[in-house]
Chain A
Amino acid sequence: MKPFTYERARTPAEAAAAVARQPGAKFIAGGTNLLDLMKLQIETPPHLVDVNTLGLDRIEPMTDGGLRIGALVRNTDLAADDRVRRDYAVLSRALLAGASGQLRNKATTAGNLLQRTRCPYFYDTNQPCNKRQPGTGCSALGGFSRQLAIIGASPTCIATHPSDMAVAMRVLDAAVETVRADGHTRTIPIADFHRLPAGNPQVETALEPGELITAVTLPKPPGGTHVYRKVRDRASYAFALVSVAAIVQPDGSGRVALGGVAPKPWRDEAAEAEMPRGAKAVMARLLAGAQPTADNAFKRPLAERTLAAAITQARA
C-alpha cells in the first residue's frame, strides 16, 4: 500500500467535505474491496476518511411504507433483518448469495454498490486497462472474457459489475440518498446510479467527487414471490456468471434484473411486459443488442434458462 493519512469523520457533510478537499481522497467503510485494491496499488488514495462512526447503521420504516437502509448497515444485518426477509426477500437472497460470512459481516450497503469490477485485467497491473488507467486500452477484448459483459459494454471496456445486492436493489426500484461536500442532499434512482462505460469506463457511478451515500431507500413492498438465482463456477463464495433477480406476481406479471452480464444491474421495464409469455420472450427483449464474445456467448442461453428456472421456482 502507498502511505496515506487517515481521519475519522464526525458528520456525513464533514466527511464529504474532507474527501472533496483532497484530490484522490476516499471514504472507507467496510474496506473489504478498497483495501484489497490498495494492496495491489490499483487504488492509491493519499487520504482516507473513515465513515464508520457516522451512525448511518439503522434500518428504519418510512412514512410511505418503504424502508430506509443506512449506508453503513452491514450486509449480514441487512440480509437478516426481519422486514427485509419478509417483504424484500429477493434482497436477502441476493446478499446471502454473495461473498463469505466474514466479508458480509464487514461489507456495507453503500460499499456494496460501489465495489469495483473483478475483471482479471483490471486486477493485473501489468496489463492495459481503460478502467484502471484511462487510455491504455482494454486487454479483455480479445483476451480471456468468459466472466465478462455481453451487453451494455463498449469498445473501451467489457467489465461487469460484480454485486449481487445491487441486482436486487434494481429490481426493487431502490434509490440512493447522498450528501455532497456543500451539504446539499439528493436522491438518485438506482437505475441512474451506475453508469455504462461508453468512452469513460473509469467513471462508474453518478456520484460527484466527495459525494457520500447516506442511505438506500426501498419503496413499499412490491408483493409477489421473490427469487434470486445465481449461477457460478462453484456452489458458494464465487462471483456470478449469470444471476437473475425476479419478483413474480400471481397473475404471471413480474420484474426481472440480471447480474453478471453487464457493467451495471441489467433491467429493462419494457421487457417485463413479456413475463406472462415466459423467459424466452423476456430475454429476446432484455438482451436485444447483446454483443457477446466467443468466450461468453454461453451467457445468453444461460440467462434465459436461469430466468425460466426462477419463474418455475416462483410458481411452485
Chain B
Amino acid sequence: MTCFGDERTLDMPGQDDGCHLPMTRRNLLIAGASSAVAVATSAEAAAPSTPAEHASVPTAEVRMSVNGTPHTLDLDTRTTLLDALREHLHLTGTKKGCDHGQCGACTVIVDGRRINSCLTLAVMHPGAHVTTIEGLGTPEHLHPMQEAFIKHDGYQCGYCTPGQICSAVSVLDEIKQGIPSHVTGDLTVRPLLSMDELRERMSGNICRCGAYSNIVEAITEVAGVAA
C-alpha cells in the first residue's frame, strides 16, 4: 500500500491504517498555499509519491457562504464540498456515508436545492450559499423538521439523519414549487403531498436502521398533513 497515494488517509487523518503521515491534509494545504502554487501546476509534476511533492498539488481559492457565514478557502482542487465542510470548516454534522452519491448521508442544501455534497467539488461553488444541518437549527432552536424527527423517532443510529433532514426540508420545498416526481399521476397539474410522493422523493436517502416509516411520519407532520 502506498501511504501517500491513499486518498482515504488524507481525507481521514485520524484513521489508523498503519500509515503514519507526517502531515495532515490541512497542513498540506497550508504548505501548498504558502509555496504559492498556482492552479496551472502541471499534474504530472504533482503526482503524489512523496510528502514534498504533495505540497505542490494544484490548489484553487473559493469563496462561499456556509450557514450564513462567508468563508474563503484555498483547497486542493480534489476537495469535495463534503470534505470542505467536514475537514476544513469542521462542520461535521454532514456525514460521509458511501462517498459515491448512493446513500444520501452527505445531503446539503446549496442555493436552495438539495445535492449530494460528496459528488461535487468545492471549487465548483464560488459564491454559493450552503446550508448544512448546523444551519437549519441549533440544539436550543431546532428546525421543525428536527423536532419532528425526534418526536417520531425518525432514526436509530442517527448517522443518516442530517442528510435525511436536509433532504426532507427540500422535498417539501420541491412539492411546494410544483416539481413532479416518478409517482406523480398527472404531470399537467401540481403534485399533491402523499405518502407515496414522500417515499419516492426520499429514495435517495438510505437508512440502514430502517426508520423509514417514522421518517415519513415526521415529514408528514411538518407538511401539515395527518399521517
Contact = CB atoms under 8 A, between A and B. Distances in A.
Given A1-B7, A3-B58, A237-B204, A105 B180 contact: no
Interface string A269-294: 00000000000000000000000000
A301 B182 CA distance: 24
Given A39-B99, A103-B101, A6 B77 contact: yes
Contacts of A96: 180-182, 184
A101 B174 contact: yes
Interface stretch (A27-35, A153-161, A260-268): A27-35
Interface in A16-41: 28, 30-32, 35-36, 39
A300 interface: no
Q: Is the interface of B mostly helix, strand, loop or mixed?
A: loop
A189 interface: no
Contact of B167 (A3, A99, A102, A106): A102
A281 B41 CA distance: 60
Of the listed residues A86, A93, A100, the one surrounded by the most CB atoms of chain B closer than 10 A to its CB is A100
A126 interface: no
Contacts of B27: none
Interface in A69-103: 76, 79-80, 85-86, 89, 92-93, 96-97, 99-103
A35 B120 contact: yes
A97 B78 contact: no
B204 A32 contact: no
Interface stretch (B42-50, B85-93, B138-146, B154-162): B42-50
Question: Chain B: interface residue count, which band?
Answer: 35 or more
Contact of A4 (B43, B177, B205): B43
Q: Is the interface of A mostly helix, strand, loop or mixed?
A: mixed
B36 interface: no
Contacts of A143: none
A47 interface: yes
A236 B78 contact: no
A43 interface: no
B116 A97 contact: no
Interface stretch (B18-26, B65-73, B107-115, B215-223): B107-115
B80 interface: yes
Contacts of A2: 43, 47
B123 interface: yes
A4 B180 contact: no
B182 A6 contact: no
Contact of B100 (A39, A79, A97): A39
B201 interface: yes
B65 to A, nearest CB: 18
Nearest to B181: A96
Contacts of B200: 235-236
Given A1-B78, A5-B58, A106 B182 contact: no
B106 to A, nearest CB: 9
Question: Chain A: interface residue count, which band?
Answer: 35 or more
A35 B201 contact: no
Contacts of A99: 204
Nearest to B123: A6
B183 to A, nearest CB: 8
A35 B119 contact: yes
B179 A100 contact: no
Contact of B104 (A50, A102, A105): A102
B84 interface: no
B60 interface: yes
Contact of A31 (B104, B114, B121, B179): B121
Contacts of B120: 30-32, 35, 106
A213 B104 CA distance: 29
B39 A6 contact: yes
Contact of A101 (B47, B77, B114, B178): B114
A52 interface: yes
Contacts of A1: 7, 78
A97 B182 contact: yes
B114 A102 contact: yes
B124 to A, nearest CB: 6
Contacts of A199: none
B116 A106 contact: yes
A44 to B, nearest CB: 9
B60 A92 contact: no
Contacts of A31: 119-121, 124
5 contacts: A32-B101, A86-B187, A102-B101, A102-B204, A103-B116
Given A4-B43, A31-B124, A236-B200, 19 more contacts: A2-B47, A3-B43, A4-B58, A5-B39, A5-B40, A6-B39, A6-B77, A6-B123, A35-B80, A35-B121, A39-B100, A48-B77, A50-B124, A96-B180, A96-B184, A100-B204, A101-B114, A101-B174, A101-B202
Please give me the 5 A-B residue pairs with the lowest Cβ-Cβ distance, nearest first: A100-B204, A236-B203, A46-B43, A85-B187, A237-B203
